[in-house]
Amino acid sequence: MLDAYAVEAWPDVDEVWPDADEESRGLAVETIVRLAVGHIVQPVASPEESARRIAAITARIAYPGGRA
């Protein structure tokens, strides 16, 4: 569903995550989007804290090993 967005928003995915296949990339992007929507619909923290936490998990997915 979000594969086209993943390619556009994360063009260097092959460089950063060389073992990622299209399905894995799509699942990662979909999961991050759903996580963001979940924090909007049912917030458990401030918007700033939610954004910080979502950014942290996104960086961990996008840059395993701490490259971010």
Angstrom distance (rounded) from CA 65 to CA 36: 23
How confident is the model at residue 23, as a pLDDT?
80
How confident is the model at residue 41, as a pLDDT?
93
Please provide residue 19's backbone torsions phi and psi, each rounded to the nearest 5 degrees: -90, 0
How confident is the model at residue 28, as a pLDDT?
81
Angstrom distance (rounded) from CA 45 to CA 60: 20
Q: Is the dihedral of CA 2, 10, 50, 66 positive or negative?
A: positive
pLDDT in tens, 32-64: 888 989 999 999 999 999 999 998 988 887 776
pLDDT in tens, 13-25: 667 667 777 787 7
Q: What is the DSSP string of 25-56?
A: HHHHHHHHHHHHHHHHHS-SS-HHHHHHHHHH
